[in-house]
Structures are given as C-alpha cells and as structure tokens.
Structure 1
Amino acid sequence: MDTTGILRRLVAFDTTSRRSNLDLVHWAADYLEHAGARVRLTSDVSGEKANILATIGRDEPGGIVLSGHTDVVPVDDQDWASDPFVLASRDGRLHGRGAVDMKGFVAACLAAVPGWRARELRRPIHLALSYDEEIGCLGVPLLITDMLAHGPLPALAIIGEPTQMQIGLSHRGFYGYRSVFHGRAAHSSDPRLGASAIEPAAAFIAVLAALGGGDGGTTINIGRIEGGSAINIIPERCEVVWEFRPPDEAAAHAVLAVVEGLATGLAAGVGVETVSLANVPPLSCVPDDPAVAVARGLGGLWPPIAMPFGTEAGFFQQAGIPALVCGPGSIAQAHQPNEWIALAELDAADRFLARVGDWAAEEL
C-alpha cells in the first residue's frame, strides 16, 4: 500500500484527542506485524489510549527513531468543504483532518516499512507513534520509558511534525497550570471578617504578565480566570488557568521560582494550590550535533529553523537521545478547516524515508 492509500485509511479513523485511538492503533499494529516489524504497545491508565513502538532491524544501539502522534484536533465549528474524515484530493492537495498534522508523516513511515524490512539493516529503525500529543504530549513519556527499558539507546530521533522538510533545531517548551486561590467568605460590608481570593489572584496575574517577553523569549498567557459568587460577598475562591513557553529549561526554572515565591508570600487567610496541566520541555539542538549531519544526509533542508510550535522532541532530548524536527507539509495548514498536505510534500517524505533505509543499511 502506498503513502496516499495508507493516509486515506488513517484519516478515516476519528482520533480526536477526546476519543480513543485504539481503532487506529490496532490497524497500524496489525499492518506493522504483517510487514515484519516487532511491535510493542503501551496504554494509559484507562486502557482507551495506546502508543505504538515498532522496530525494524537488529536490537542494536545507535538506531533512529521516527516519531509522530496519532491524535488530531477537533473539527467542531469548522466549515469544511468535504467530510473531514474522508481523504479528498483536489489540485495536488490531500484534504482531511490530520492530513498534515501529522498522519501524512505517519503514513509515509508505514509505507516505507516493507522496503526497510527487505534490506539487511545494520542499525535499527524505530517507529514511535504516541497518543494525546495535541493536549500536552501525554503519551510520549510512557513510550520513551518503555523503549529504553526494553532496548538499547538510539542515536537520534526525528520528529515528523510539518516543517516542509526543513530541519528544525529549536522550539519553546509548553507548561500549563491551574492555580486555585482560597480565601474566606464574608459580607462585603466588613472586609476584615474575610479574605479575598480574587485580590491575590489578580496580583499573581500581574506578576506573571510582567515575566513575559518577546523576541524569542518566554511568553505568558492567562487563559482563564474564574472566581467569586456575588457582588456583596468576599470571594473565597478564584481559579487561574495559565501557561508559559520558555526558550530553554533555565528560563522555565526562573518562571517557576517566581511562582513559588508568590505562593509563600500570601496574606494571612489566603492559600493557593497549583497543579500541572501540561509539561512539554523545550528543544535546543546545536547545528554541529551529529544528529543534524544525519538528517541533512537524509535530505532534510538547510538552513535550519526555529519553530513556533512545540513537539515531543524535548522529551527525547531529556532521555539522552539527540532530537530534531523534520517532516512534510506546512504548519500553516494544521488545525484549519480543509486541512491539507501537498502530494509533492508526501513525495519528499517518501524520498527522505527511503534514505533512512540506506543509512540504516550502511556499513558501521
């Protein structure tokens, strides 16, 4: 089955993050096993979501990981010209939810497996497909932990998010939190009897906003604030949902240190509880990393780019696996109605992945 045919099958699975991805997982796992890959599945606690790790070639260190995600964003309230879960071809473009983000890359990888399997590979090729990337890369930490527990360390990971096949070396991290402030309710005619939860929350927001900067620095967003019950009641609860995106781990630690200081400096009668909603580390890969030379040899385009969006690459980097981003299609089409990927981009991915087989078969 060619890349377009596989993409047609993948798009037909509605793997919106709020739904199970198991129908796609079972289809892909069956395809991979019949093609001769060794397949491992890891599941979330509900059993409704699963990762796939498929290996082609020897169980040796120094292989390559090709990483993608199986989930897609919703189509709710979007005006599509055709059924978003039926791949449609128009003017050299393939339209469908997930076509570019990122079932196109996944389809190209699956289509390449029989060719890889037919070769005498001296380095393994690992295909890593994770769940719930779109809501915080929830599946990939489990996948990486399982991969390292049951096999040798790969030499590099390439995440196939859409970069039009340019090599992406850096992106900011994504950290999301919910901070709930607790005060003490009282009649507003005598504020001394209560403790407002909204006032310290407002001060917290002002400090957070001041931490954000431009020009590639840390960005801050206050996504939601909710608190209070009536105009004449001192509010006893206020919830703030917020996120920040740092360029590196040092910047992340700096923001969290300020937040910790604010939590310990609250007025009497006020407390705050902060819980993590998302934790996606930044990516920072230097141009002279050996992984970059491999990606360029495979056909990744130069010069490199810094990406405005996050990926699972930082998780691989934290695990000691050099990582970068390089995949077909443009991020400009992602999450949009009538999402599409150009056939020419899929052709470029097919050529790139054929060279992955060449690299894995080279004499060591």
Structure 2
Amino acid sequence: MDTVEILRRLVAFDTTSRRSNLDLVNWIADYLDGAGARVRLTSDASGEKANILATIGPDEPGGIVLSGHTDVVPVDDQDWASDPFALASRDGRLHGRGAVDMKGFVAACLAAVPGWRARELRRPIHLALSYDEEVGCLGVPLLIADMLAHCPPPALAIIGEPTQMRIGLNHRGFYGYRSVFHGRAAHSSDPRLGASAIEPAAAFVAALAGFGRQDGRGATTVNIGKIAGGSAINIVPERCEVVWEFRPPDDTAVGFVLAEVEGFVAGLPDGVSVETLPLARVLPLDCAADSPVVAAARGLGGLWPPLAMPFGTEAGFFQQAGIPALVCGPGSIAQAHQPNEWIAVIELAAADRFLARVGDWAAVDPSST
C-alpha cells in the first residue's frame, strides 16, 4: 500500500483522545508484523490505550527514532464539508481528521517499511507511536521507558509533527495545574471566625500573572484558565479552585516558576491550605543548530532555515531521556485541529522522499560516517 491508501485506513479509525485507540493500534501492529518488523505494545492502566514500538533492522545502538502520535482532537461543533473520518480528496488536498496532525506522517512511515526491509540495514529504524499526545503527552513517557529498556540507545529522534518538512529546533513547554484552596466557612458578619479561600487564591492569581515578566527573557507565559469559589455573598468561602498553566522555554524557566509557587504556598495565612494537582506536562525542546541531529536531518532532506514552533511536541521527552531530538514532518500546523483538516499530496510525497533517505542512512556502516 502507498502512503495515501494507508492514510485512508488510518483516518477511518476514530482515535479521538477520549476514545480507545486499540482498533488502530491492532491494525498497525498486524501491518508491521506482516512486514517483518519487531513490534512491542505498552498500555495505559485501563488497557484501553496503547503505544506501538516497532524496529526494522539490526539490534544495534545508534539507530533513528521516527515518532508520532495516534490520537486526534474532537470534531464536535465543527462544520465539515465531508465525513471527517473518511479521507476525501479535493484539489490536491486530502481532508480528514488527523490527516495532518499527524496520521499523514505515520502513514508515510508505514509505507516506507517494505522498502527499508528490502535493504541491508546497518543501523535500526524505530517507529514510536504514542497515545494521548493531544491531552498532555500521557503515553510517550511509557513508550520511551520501554524503548530504553528493550532497545540499544538510539542516536537521534525525529518527531514528525507538521512543519512543512522544515526543521524545528525549539519550542516552549506546557505545564497545567489545578490549585484548590481550602479555608474555613463562617458567617460574613464576623470574618475573623473563618478563613477565606478566595482571598489567598486571588493573591495567588496576581502572583502567577507576574511570573512571566519576572522571568526576564519575556518568553514564559502564564494563563489563568478558570477560577471558581464560594457559595453565597454572606458566607466566608471555604473553597476556591484555580486552573492555570505556564509555558516555559527551558528547564531554568520551569524551575523559576515552580520555586515561586512553592514560596507563595509556604506563606499562606492560618487556616488556609492548598492542594495543587498536575493536569498536563509537555517538556520544552532546546536543540542546538550545530548539533549532529540537525546535520543528520538536513542530510535526509529536512528544510532550512529552522521553523519557529509556537506549538508543543513530544520531542522534549526524548531529549530529556538523552536521545537528541528535533521536529520535522509533512503539512502545516495551520491546518491542524481545524474543520476540513487537510494535508497536501505534495507534502506526503516530500515525506516519502525523506523517509527513503532514512533507509539510505540506516544502510550505511556507521563506522564509515
């Protein structure tokens, strides 16, 4: 099957993050097994979601990881011109949910497998396909841990999010939290008998709003997404919830914000406590332009100059695990998450050429490069 036909099959699976992805996972696993790849699955606690790790080539260190996610965002309340889960071709564009984000890249990787298998590979090619990227990169830590436990260390990872085949070196992280302040209710005629949960929550919100500016580089942003608290005008509120997120450029900025939050919590008034729970975590990516992974990606056909990426990816998780990583994939992020989502046929063709060169790279004896 070629890339377009495989994409047609993948789009037909409704892998919206709130649903199981197992039907798609089983189809891909059967396809890869039939093509001679070594396939491993890892599941979430419910058993309703699974990652796929497949290896083509020798069981040797120094391979390449091609990474993508299997889940898609919802189509609820979007006006589509055709069935979002049936690939439609119009004017050189292939429309369907996930066509660009990011089943197009996954389809191109799967279509390349028979060609890779026909080569005498000297270095392995690993396909790493995760679950629940769209709701906070929940599957990729388990996927990477399984890879490191069962595969020799790879040399690099390329995450195929849509960049129009330009190389992406840097993006901010995303950290989301729910902070619930607990106080003590009382009649408002004598507030001293209670402990307001709203007042320290409001001070916390004001402090959060300043963290981005205090970072000094102007790159960390903070957003307060939700505040809810209190029950009546004449009751000292005993509970207030703040849902918030920040987007840092690097680990230093992460440490700064979390240290400031810890300092604020340490100074809460008597009778007030707070419980902060993580909701989402996407690690920042910081790849140097002169690194070997960039040279390799450019040799494979990744386009230069690098793309500024306002969106997050799973690349930072690979980087944190010691696997040099960058982002490079077909299509434009501008079409992602939109009604009538699409990827251009010529973009898929560019991905096919890129992945054919991955086979060339893996066929070369690493000692000669």
Name the TM tier (shorter chain): over 0.9
1:94, distance to aligned residue in structure 2 (A): 0.3
1:212, distance to aligned residue in structure 2 (A): 2.0
CA separation in 1, counterparts of 2:168 and 2:217?
18
Q: CA offsets, 1:59-97, max 9 Å, x none?
A: 100000000000000000001111100000000000000
Match of 2:305 in 1: 303
Match of 2:226 in 1: 224
Match of 1:19 in 2: 19
CA separation in 2, counterparts of 1:247 and 1:60?
34
CA separation in 2, counterparts of 1:320 and 1:295?
18
Amino acid in the other structure paired with 2:244: W
Q: Which runs of 5+ in 2 are unaligned?
A: none
Q: Taking structure 2 as the reference length, what is the TM-score of the superposition?
A: 0.98
CA separation in 2, counterparts of 1:222 and 1:61?
44
Q: CA offsets, 1:118-163, max 9 Å, x none?
A: 1000000000000000001000000000000011100000000000
CA separation in 2, counterparts of 1:151 and 1:127?
12
Q: Is the 8 A contact 1:216 1:247 kept in 2?
A: no
Match of 2:271 among 264, 269, 272: 269
Q: Is the 8 A contact 2:188 2:236 kept in 1?
A: yes
Amino acid in the other structure paired with 1:79: D
SS at match of 2:308: strand
Superposed, 1:244-255 pairs within 5 Å as 244-255=246-257
Match of 2:355 in 1: 353
1:4, distance to aligned residue in structure 2 (A): 0.4
Matched residue count: 364
CA separation in 2, counterparts of 1:216 and 1:310?
18
Match of 2:335 in 1: 333
Superposed, 1:24-173 pairs within 5 Å as 24-173=24-173
Amino acid in the other structure paired with 1:328: P
CA separation in 1, counterparts of 2:62 and 2:223?
40
1:215, distance to aligned residue in structure 2 (A): 7.3
Amino acid in the other structure paired with 1:324: L
Provide runs of 4+ in structure 1 moved above 3 Å. Answer: 213-216
Q: Is the 8 A contact 1:42 1:52 kept in 2?
A: yes
Q: CA offsets, 1:149-196, max 9 Å, x none?
A: 011100000000000000000000111111000000011111111111
SS at match of 2:169: strand
SS at match of 1:5: helix
Match of 1:317 in 2: 319
CA separation in 2, counterparts of 1:324 and 1:335?
22
Match of 1:196 in 2: 196
1:305, distance to aligned residue in structure 2 (A): 2.0
Q: Is the 8 A contact 1:195 1:234 kept in 2?
A: yes
Alpha-carbon distance change, 215 to 81 in structure 1, aligned in 2, over 3 angstroms:
farther
CA separation in 2, counterparts of 1:225 and 1:134?
24
Amino acid in the other structure paired with 1:111: A
